[in-house]
Chains A and B, each alone.
Chain A
Amino acid sequence: MRFFLAVLLLASLRAEAAEPDPALVAAAVKEGTVVWYSTLIVNQIVRPMAEAFEKKYPGIKVQYSRAASSDVALKIRNEARARRTQSDLFDGSNTVFLLEDAGLVADYRPRAAEDWPQELRDKQGRWTALNMFYWTAAVNTNTVKPEDVPHSYADLLNPRWKGQIAWTYDLTPGGPPGFIYNILTTMGQDKGMAYLRAFAKQEPVTIPAAQRVVLDKVISGEYPLAVMTLNYHATISIAKGAPVQWLRMEPLLQSMSLISIVNNSPHPNAARLFEEFMLSDEGQKVLADNDYLPASPRVPAKVPQNKPEIGGFKVNTVSPDQARDELPKWVAIYHELFR
């Protein structure tokens, strides 16, 4: 019942999605191409999104390449230095911060997101949230008995988990630094640092791979428990019968992938149109259909319980600005305690 009420509420936010300005569409079609540097998984979302856009606007071809946040930023930066900017828009949780000081990010406030909560949009228009991440612990349901499943961060300090907790080596808010941030902001500086020191004694194992791979190691039984994994990754695997469960270890950490437009890009109108499409109900639905968690408050996730409004779990948000300003501090704590 609560679920239906929530869906009804979301649907009533706006009866229909605004179609983009016909002048923008015409200018974009004239440009004919849009180049997207993505940090997302090609088969899972980049290709379906590009295909949906090309289907709606047959005159525009989407070209894409995929790399990690830092690599995407370096590529855009180096192209700009050589005065050969190739890309029109890019996404990523951290990419924009590596580029905005260099003046490589265009300001654009997409119409499709104009009624979204402020935390999902940059005031200046440098970025808009594309999809949401909820970071939490996951457990192997075969190797961990129900009564042993940890429920709180304090439970992670149980001696039985020493050397048994896996996490990624990704030094972004989606990895150990995000965990450190979450602990420090929810427990306070002193208690938080005491907790982190105790957690370091548990010797969490740094897996040299992405968060998805860490979860796969939990599923294969190599590690019974992992932290900083994504809840929707677990539900994708559960649907395929994997012995895994994501835990409501509250608060979960909320972060987001951001979409931005490159300054002085070769196809500025096509870039705007593509961004409008990705943030429209239609584009957000493509995300949801492919298991991602849409940023739009109007579009529910494929497994609606994976978002806090319907899932009813508490979250602690790491805002893009905090991530930019404080990440080096969290990385320093990681280096001090966990390396």
Chain B
Amino acid sequence: MAGMLHWFRHDSRRIISITVGIVLAVLMLPPLYILLQDSITTTDAVGDVTGFTLGHFAKMFTDKDALRSIWNSLVFAAGSTVLSLIAGGVLAWLVERTNAPFKILAYLATIISLGTPYILHVIAWLFLLGKVGPLNDLYRLVSGSTDNLFNVNSMTGMILIEGFLWSPLVFLLLGATFRAANADMEEAARMSGATVAQTWRRVSLPLAMPALLALALFVFIRAIGGFEVPALVGMPGRIYVLTTDVYEATIVVPPDLGYAAAFSVVMVAIVAVLLYFYSRL
């Protein structure tokens, strides 16, 4: 009887993992197969495969614009990751480890922010920082100039907006990490004569490192695959990244699906490598 129960328990877990595996495979493998197929084949007018080609990849790795898009994607994702970690991390530390007032505001703002669709966030930031937004208006009023103080349609603008999109999530998750970590160690460091900066660098930061790295990878992956900010903020400033290049290849007439698929395969490869490291953290 006990053996049966053990077998069933053991097996039910196996059944669940097999079921989840099958569901994921059914959901993920067909599109991935089509993507790979499209990226290395030529098709006729009906869409049937007519032959094998490496032309899509060749075009991508020799085209100046395409290489620049890959570079822009990396800069954009890295910049947004750093900004969101700094903004969210500092806020989490202030709220969890200091006696800063109005802590409730941080949570309130975070929850409101997480409940707002990202596309609205982006549009709101564009209104705020855009050419006719209040900041540039104020600058023109004060300076009497007709120029803009800040051009939001730049890589800086993209990183700023994407970074702030993710900082509430970083705040929540790092806040939990700081709360779970034992404050005694920091107190012990302070009692032993360490300054705040020393404590932070030698105790708080190493303790939070696993969480920080996991979050960094997470935000980086999401930013590489992000579309709202590159499209709405980047394209008017002629800054293209992988996702906007994929999109543009699908909207030209006739759509260049092979080229779009090749771009997507490169993105999948980048993200797969990152996810591998993410799973090992």
Distance between B6 CB and nearest chain A CB, rounded to angstroms: 48
Choose, from B15-23, B78-86, B167-175, B233-241, the stretch at the interface: B233-241
Q: Which residues of the other chain, B, contact A103 by a CB distance below 8 angstroms? A: 46
- The answer to whether A70 and B250 touch across the interface, beta carbons within 8 angstroms, is yes
Q: Return chain B residues, CB-CB under 8 Å to A221.
A: 132
Complex interface: stretch among A124-132, A205-213, A251-259:
A205-213
Partner of A94, one of B47, B131, B153, B253: B253
Say yes or no: A77-B232 contact (C-beta < 8 A), given A70-B250, A97-B253: no
Residues 149-177 of B, flagged 1 when their CB comes within 8 A of A and 0 if not, give: 00001000000000000000000000000
* Neighbour of B48 across the interface among A81, A205, A206, A331, CB < 8 A: A81
Q: Among residues 40 to 83 in chain B, which have CB atoms less than 8 Å away from a CB atom of chain A?
A: 44-48, 65
Q: Contact at A102–B240, with CB atoms within 8 Å? A: no
In the assembled complex, the Cα of A80 lies from the Cα of B46 at a distance in Å of: 8
Could you tell me if A78 and B65 are in contact, using CB atoms closer than 8 angstroms?
no
- B47 and A81 contacting across the interface, CB-CB below 8 Å: yes
Q: Please state if A331 and B252 are interface contacts (CB–CB under 8 Å).
A: yes
Within 8 A of A (CB), among B192-241: 231-232, 235-236, 238, 240
Query: Distance in Å from the Cβ of A95 to the closest Cβ of chain B?
Result: 9
In the bound complex, residues from chain A placing their C-beta under 8 Å from that of B132 are 220-222
Q: How far is the CB of A191 from chain B (nearest CB, A)?
A: 26
Decide yes or no: A208 and B232 within 8 Å by CB, A70-B250, A70-B251, A339-B238 being known contacts: yes
List of B residues within 8 angstroms of A102 by Cβ: 44-47
**Which residues of the partner chain B approach A73 to less than 8 Å between Cβ atoms?**
254
Within 8 A of B (CB), among A96-114: 97-98, 101-104
Contact between A171 and B238, CB atoms less than 8 A apart: no
Interface on chain B toward A: helix, strand, loop, or mixed SS? loop
- A266 CB to closest chain B CB (Å) equals 19
Instruction: State A223–B235 Cα separation when bound (angstroms).
Output: 16
Does B187 belong to the interface (CB within 8 Å)? Answer: no
For chain B residues 249-278, which have a beta carbon within 8 Å of chain A? 250-255
Chain A min CB distance to B71 (Å): 15
Assuming the contacts A206-B238, A208-B235, A339-B65, asked whether A327 and B253 have C-beta atoms less than 8 A apart, the reply is: yes
Minimum Cβ distance to chain B for residue A99 (Å): 8
Determine whether the beta carbon of A172 is less than 8 Å from that of B253. Answer: yes
| A208/B236 contact (C-beta < 8 A), A102-B46, A339-B65 known | yes
Q: Binary interface profile of A, 65-98, with partner B (CB < 8 Å = 1, else 0)?
A: 0001110011001101100000000000010011
Closest to A334 in B: B252
Between B232, B253, B255, the greatest number of chain A beta carbons within 10 A of the residue's beta carbon is seen for B253
Interface size on B, residues (CB 8 A): 23
Question: Is B248 in contact with chain A by the CB < 8 A criterion?
Answer: yes
Which of A169, A171, A220 is close to B235, meaning CB atoms less than 8 Å apart?
A169
* Contact residues in A for B231 (Cβ distance below 8 Å): 208
With contacts A78-B47, A81-B46 taken as known, whether A70 is within 8 angstroms of B236 at the C-beta atoms is: no
A62 to B47, CA, bound (A): 28
Give Cα A339–Cα B248 distance, bound, in whole angstroms.
Answer: 12
Contacts of B252 in A (CB 8 A): 70, 171, 331
Question: Is A240 at the interface (CB under 8 A from chain B)?
Answer: no
CB-CB under 8 A from B253, the residues of chain A are 69-70, 94, 97-98, 171-172, 327
| Bitwise interface map of A from 271 to 284 toward B, beta carbon under 8 Å scored 1, else 0 | 00000000000000
B265 → A minimal CB distance (Å): 19
A-chain residues with CB within 8 Å of residue B89 when the two chains form the complex: none
Contact B46 A70 (CB under 8 A): no
Instruction: Say if the beta carbon of B88 comes within 8 Å of chain A.
Output: no
Complex partner residue of A205 from B45, B47, B236, B248, CB under 8 angstroms: B236
Q: How long is the Cα–Cα vector from A69 to B250 in the complex, in angstroms?
A: 11
A69 to B232, CA, bound (A): 21
Cβ-defined contact, B255 with A77, below 8 A: no
A2 interfacial contact with B, CB 8 Å? no
Which residues in A have their C-beta under 8 angstroms from that of B255? 70, 74, 98
User: Is A335 an interface residue, CB under 8 A from the partner?
Assistant: yes
Which residue of B has the minimal Cβ distance to A173? B253
Q: Taking the nearest CB of chain B, how far is it from the CB of A142, in angstroms? A: 12
CA distance A70 to B257 in the complex (A): 11
Which residues of chain A are near B130, meaning CB under 8 Å? 222
- Interchain residue pairs A-B with the least CB separation, the first 10: A101-B45, A102-B45, A208-B235, A102-B46, A94-B253, A171-B252, A70-B255, A208-B231, A205-B236, A222-B132
Given contacts A70-B252, A81-B48, A171-B251, 14 further A-B contacts (CB under 8 A): A70-B253, A77-B46, A77-B47, A94-B253, A97-B254, A98-B255, A102-B44, A102-B45, A102-B46, A103-B46, A206-B236, A208-B231, A208-B232, A223-B131
A-B contact pairs, 9 of them (CB 8 A): A69-B253, A70-B252, A80-B46, A98-B255, A102-B46, A171-B252, A206-B235, A206-B236, A208-B236
